[in-house]
Structure 1
Amino acid sequence: MVKMNSEIERIELTPLHVPFKPYVINAMSQSEGGLGMAIGSEEAWLGGDFVICKLYSKSAKVGLGESFVWLPESGVSAFQIIDSIKNGLSNYLIGENPFNIGKINHRMDINIARSDVAKGLLDMACYDLMGQILDIPACFLMGGKNSEEIPLAALIPLGDPMLMKGLVRSYFKKGFRTFRLKLGKGLEEDREIISTIRKTFGEKIRIRVDFNQSYAPSKAVQVLKMLEPFQIDYAEQPVAADDYLGLAYVQKSTSIPLMVHEGFFSLKDFVTLVELGAVRVLGLNSERPGGVSKAIIALNYAKMKGLEVVLHNQPLGIASAMHIHFHSAFYNDIDHPTELFGQEMLQDDLITNPIKYHDGKAEVPKGAGWGVKLDEKALQRFATDDTTIIES
């Protein structure tokens, strides 16, 4: 029954840009560079660039995928992702059964180097398509629904300490109890931010920090040593994305667990970082390390190595649903609240049946696959080019 008319016969890829909400742009503009973080990029960040993927089976079922791109982090644009699928990766999906997901990933990997974001987009859509064909939630294809809802973390952009404190207070009132604070302005500036917020909220909140590659290794050690008394869950990307040896030096010099974001795209990236002793937290999302299948492999590897796991991203509705299903499936293996902040930052989520958020939590969407429906009108409204269609 599963194989009957399940083969993929059509792929549709649409690039789009969804602007940030005005209050988000205003809050980010308070930081040097106007990005709400310490990354030294000259690329504007006024919204999210995405690719939406639709996989059609012969039985007329549709699977949805979504990828977020920003050149300073992803290194590829939406158009490059579409090109790599159109002129390469699609060869290993068209005519293939999505339930042969291991075979699909193997063929993509041996024939097309890297391209982790594009591969992840297709892999994600396959899981939704499998769920649609079987008429079951996608979490049951990973490990089951082990929780009806998941805890969430809030993102606080870099800015004036009083502004950041006010944002924490606002989300605290909404039920959030975990916060990612953007840091990286300097030792004294970071001290003022963290001490202000910890003094105000005490042990009622959990704090994780994100440096966005802002420090050299020796400086990162100084800053992290300063932060150690403030009960930090983990610190994200304190040094340059490609400085694996520097990161290992930093991790060995601080008691605060480190996590990489900009420096991690493939499974081999993560294994290398772990073997170097450079990280103690695995940060997964829909782009890293390339879809659901590889995220499962990475999670299992991390847990066997005694590492902690967190999910984090600022996606639209499709990828938000994917993260929620994944967290539910691996509820007992994920150590930190998931950070999903697209619904707070972006003007639209591109789904017609909103995900239910309340009291700092998200409910697992009900229904087949990811449990969400694409808003076709919104897709056309935010599209930056025509939809690319690939058929057998």
Structure 2
Amino acid sequence: MKDVKITDVRVTLCDTRVKGNFADSTRQVETIGFAVVEVDTNVGVTGIGVTYHEVGGEAIREFIRYAIKPKFIGRNPFETEMLYEETFHYMRGVGRKGLAFCAYSAVDIALWDIKGKLLNMPLYRLLGGNNPVVPIYASGGWTSYSTEELVAEAKMMVARGYTKIKLKVGVDGGRNPMEDVRRVAAVREAIGPDIGFMLDANNVWRAATAIQFANNIREYNIEFFEEPVFADDIPGLAEFKRGTDIPLATGEHEYTRYGIRDLLLNNAADVVQCDSTRIGGYTETLRAIAMTQAWNKAYAPHGMEHIHMHLVAAAPNGIMLERLFMFEDLVNNVYLDAPQPVNGYLTIPEKPGLGLELNQDYLAECRERNGV
């Protein structure tokens, strides 16, 4: 394996306009996309990695091409620790958070895919797991929906076999929390008492309002409440935890282990949702997971279930994946025969690496559409 070398790093943007009225408490979603990375080697093995974007996809693509690729050509893909360390310091002025780190994450994931393929092992087994069946929940339920539309989507999720669902709160930009209380009550009545029910406020409230809202919905058995306050307001997250017994989920907006460390040190999370397509790929996610284990917290990553399935399967404190309904069409276009959830579980293919195959015809369409 010591003679394996990276020969090329290619990236394709696959983005699409959102069909429908999708808005959370703080923003309207207009476009979603994947930046799909392919890392070639001199032994004929190609690794794939993905990050996603709602804005800034072009910047991710160009950063990979002009900042990351030249540093990786000729390097051994097994050198994930050293490549991470070198690249972190190389881009530290622009890359400790944000689009540059998203770009690096996709490349790192592709390196881990190469490792699994060369060793002929699914990554969840390479990482020490032995059970390929992982719980997964359905995620949607936008604040732009009427109460009737919200209830209908919740019932549809359950009808599709999901035993846990997550919906948005923060209608009218968070200015009407009592309307959110009524909406939560309507959903719980519609789905019954036995379906796991989570909420996501997308950073909208100050701690006092979030606590008041949480205590007003306590009777509806909320499994966790995600980002009730601004993700960078760690004191506010800690204040929320002190003010209610509903478990607090956060971490998707942390881009390195240091952000996760600060959440844990400040008792500002019960469920840590670090996203390997942002935080620094598998290399940095494994460090973050180790810290969550040391603090005895749950790990439940944000979105991108086909990238995260191996990590959740291998982590003793990995509790579930998230399937964002908004991304379903894009996922089905980008991958060939990606595993689909069945009755609230996703089964990982017993294929080497990530176990995913790209739809090259669709990627070619994306490149043509983007003039690349």
Tell me the TM-score normalised to structure 1 length: 0.85
DSSP 3-state at the match of 1:340: strand
Residues in 1 aligned to 2:333 and 2:341: alpha-carbon distance in whole angstroms: 13
Greater helix share, 1 or 2?
2
- Size of the aligned set, in residue pairs, is 358
8 A contact 1:225–1:254 mirrored in 2: yes
Q: How do residues 28-39 of structure 1 correspond to structure 2 at under 5 angstroms?
A: 29=21, 35-39=22-26
Residue 81 of structure 1 pairs with residue 60 of structure 2: yes
Indicate the RMSD between aligned Cα atoms, in angstroms: 2.0
DSSP 3-state at the match of 1:15: strand
Residue 256 of structure 1 pairs with residue 210 of structure 2: no
What are structure 2's unaligned runs of at least 5 residues?
none
Tell me by how many angstroms 1:138 deviates.
Answer: 1.9
Residues in 2 aligned to 1:79 and 1:16: alpha-carbon distance in whole angstroms: 10
DSSP 3-state at the match of 1:232: coil
Residue 277 of structure 1 pairs with residue 275 of structure 2: no
Q: How do residues 56-75 of structure 1 correspond to structure 2 at under 5 angstroms?
A: 56-71=40-55
DSSP 3-state at the match of 2:296: coil
2:313 maps to what in 1? 328
1:357 maps to what in 2? 341
8 A contact 1:61–1:133 mirrored in 2: yes
**Structure 2 residue aligned with 1:220, among 201, 210, 227?**
210
Tell me by how many angstroms 1:59 deviates.
Answer: 0.7
Q: 1:301 to 1:340 in 2, by over 3 A?
A: same
2:116 maps to what in 1? 131
Q: 1:81 to 1:156 in 2, by over 3 A?
A: closer
Identity of paired residues, percent? 21
Residue 171 of structure 1 pairs with residue 154 of structure 2: no
Tell me by how many angstroms 1:341 deviates.
Answer: 2.8
Aligned partner letter, 1:253: G
DSSP 3-state at the match of 1:358: coil
Greater mean alpha carbon deviation, residues 83-92 or residues 371-380: 83-92
Residue 156 of structure 1 pairs with residue 140 of structure 2: yes
Residues in 2 aligned to 1:156 and 1:55: alpha-carbon distance in whole angstroms: 32
Aligned partner letter, 2:273: G
**Structure 1 residue aligned with 2:358, among 374, 384, 390?**
374
Tell me by how many angstroms 1:366 deviates.
Answer: 2.7
Tell me by how many angstroms 1:18 deviates.
Answer: 3.2
Residue 238 of structure 1 pairs with residue 221 of structure 2: no
Q: Deviations over 1:284-335 (max 9, x none)?
A: 323242211111111110111121111231x4xxxx43222222222x3213
Residues in 2 aligned to 1:343 and 1:326: alpha-carbon distance in whole angstroms: 22
Aligned partner letter, 1:120: S
Q: Deviations over 1:121-161 (max 9, x none)?
A: 111000111122222212222223x2232121111322222
Residues in 2 aligned to 1:340 and 1:175: alpha-carbon distance in whole angstroms: 13
Q: 1:184 to 1:307 in 2, by over 3 A?
A: same
1:32 maps to what in 2? none
Q: 1:373 to 1:292 in 2, by over 3 A?
A: same
1:74 maps to what in 2? none
1:14 maps to what in 2? 12
1:341 maps to what in 2? 324
Greater mean alpha carbon deviation, residues 300-309 or residues 223-232: 223-232
Tell me by how many angstroms 1:91 deviates.
Answer: 3.8
Residue 140 of structure 1 pairs with residue 138 of structure 2: no
DSSP 3-state at the match of 2:192: helix
Residues in 2 aligned to 1:278 and 1:137: alpha-carbon distance in whole angstroms: 33
Residue 3 of structure 1 pairs with residue 15 of structure 2: no
Residues in 2 aligned to 1:155 and 1:351: alpha-carbon distance in whole angstroms: 20
What are structure 1's unaligned runs of at least 5 residues?
30-34, 72-76, 388-392
Tell me by how many angstroms 1:274 deviates.
Answer: 1.8
1:302 maps to what in 2? 292
**Structure 1 residue aligned with 2:199, among 196, 209, 221?**
209
Aligned partner letter, 1:357: P
Q: 1:127 to 1:367 in 2, by over 3 A?
A: same
Q: 1:13 to 1:288 in 2, by over 3 A?
A: closer
Tell me by how many angstroms 1:261 deviates.
Answer: 4.7
Greater mean alpha carbon deviation, residues 348-357 or residues 202-211: 348-357
Tell me the TM-score normalised to structure 2 length: 0.89
